[in-house]
């Protein structure tokens, strides 16, 4: 049994499964593209030989600093960079390894990010409506979107990224309320949704709206679409890519990418013969979703919605 860090803020999701499916060479090179506070990399360090190499990316500057601190003492060579995972191809040339035996993507927020009220990720904490993973100058905050986007744009964000059935109604209410006063905090948005007849399903609606805003602020889905081929291209032959997602929008992108890249033909089914000349580059390792067991969910409730898919470079 692999031990996880004791601090619950650092418990890595699906740690046992990540080791089981990702480690193909215990003396190899491993990259966590969403290193966070280093939880998964610490777990990997425990099973890797000292000559192995460990690398990490994180767009969050605070997370990068904490990951470096938390990974001190690992016997392997460790390198953590503060950058977005979409820049993997550009930044990997700085490493001793340009290709990797295993690459991990955990697309969830860390507990510490959720609990840090000033980040604005959680509707259960009062703080500014920010929601940026990094503090990039020029990026819209959630408050910018809530206060500047028109009703049609808000409706599209809530429906497309939050899969919220009441998207149009909620957008109209927000546009009406912001005319009275700017909506700048999570508590304000929480109160608006709670006070207009949505009290019964308030928690689920808030979760979907906050998810939608976070995805829009960080352009998350486009980022996933960009990083998957870049990560797969950065694997050694026989290397593995493991991706942990937390909602259907993410998982659909991952599932479709793995399905396409594990197929020799991607022509429309009505085509009588193949004309695409596509060749499979990946082999799906687990046909079924890899999920946390009841014991993990009991010890870390935020793992409840985690789903992992794994593919191998061929």
Question: b/e for 14-49, b at 16 or more Cβ within 10 A?
Answer: bbebbbebbbeeeebbbbbbbbbbbbbbbbbbeebe
CB distance 145 to 215 below 8 Å: no
CB distance 54 to 44 below 8 Å: yes
Residue 122: the pLDDT is 77
Beta-bridged to residue 241, according to DSSP, are: 103, 311
Residue 223: the pLDDT is 94
Residue 139: the pLDDT is 78
The predicted-structure confidence for 98-130, as pLDDT tens digits, reads as follows 899 999 999 987 656 666 656 777 777 788 999
Sign of the CA dihedral with 40 first, then 236, 60, and 192 last: negative
CB distance 103 to 238 below 8 Å: no
CB distance 313 to 24 below 8 Å: no
Alpha-carbon span 45 to 244, nearest angstrom: 19
Domains of the chain plus CATH, in order, are 8-106+221-313 (3.40.50.150), 117-218 (1.10.150.170)
User: Across residues 202-225, what is the average pLDDT?
Assistant: 92
pTM value is 0.89
Alpha-carbon span 157 to 153, nearest angstrom: 6
Alpha-carbon span 151 to 161, nearest angstrom: 15
Phi, psi of 78 (to 5 degrees): -120, 135
């Amino acid at each position: 049994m692999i031990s996880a860090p004791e601090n619950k803020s650092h418990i890595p999701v699906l740690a046992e499964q990540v080791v089981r499916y990702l480690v193909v060479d215990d003396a190899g090179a491993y990259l966590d593209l969403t290193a966070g506070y280093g939880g998964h990399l610490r777990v990997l360090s425990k099973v890797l030989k000292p000559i192995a190499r460990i690398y990490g990316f994180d767009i969050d500057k605070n997370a990068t600093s904490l990951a470096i601190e938390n990974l001190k003492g690992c016997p392997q060579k460790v390198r953590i960079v503060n950058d977005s995972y979409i820049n993997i191809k550009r930044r990997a040339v700085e490493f001793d390894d340009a290709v990797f035996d295993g690459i991990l993507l955990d697309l969830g927020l860390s507990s510490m990010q959720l609990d840090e009220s000033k980040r604005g990720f959680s509707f259960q904490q009062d703080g500014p409506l920010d929601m940026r993973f990094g503090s990039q100058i020029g990026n819209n905050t959630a408050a910018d979107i809530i206060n500047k986007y028109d009703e049609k744009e808000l409706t599209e964000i809530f429906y497309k990224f939050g899969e919220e059935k009441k998207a149009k109604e909620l957008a109209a209410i927000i546009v009406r309320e912001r005319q009275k006063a700017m909506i700048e905090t999570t508590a304000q948005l929480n109160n608006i949704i709670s006070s207009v007849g949505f009290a019964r399903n308030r928690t689920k609606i808030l979760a979907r709206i906050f998810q939608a805003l976070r995805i829009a602020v960080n352009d998350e889905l486009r980022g996933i679409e960009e990083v998957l081929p870049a990560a797969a291209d950065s694997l050694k032959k026989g290397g593995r890519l493991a991706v942990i997602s937390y909602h259907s929008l993410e998982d659909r992108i991952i599932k479709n990418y793995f399905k396409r890249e594990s197929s020799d033909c991607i022509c429309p089914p009505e085509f009588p013969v193949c004309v695409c000349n596509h060749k499979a580059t990946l082999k799906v390792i687990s046909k079924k979703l890899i999920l946390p067991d009841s014991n993990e969910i009991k010890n870390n409730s935020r793992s409840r919605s985690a789903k992992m898919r794994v593919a191998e470079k061929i």
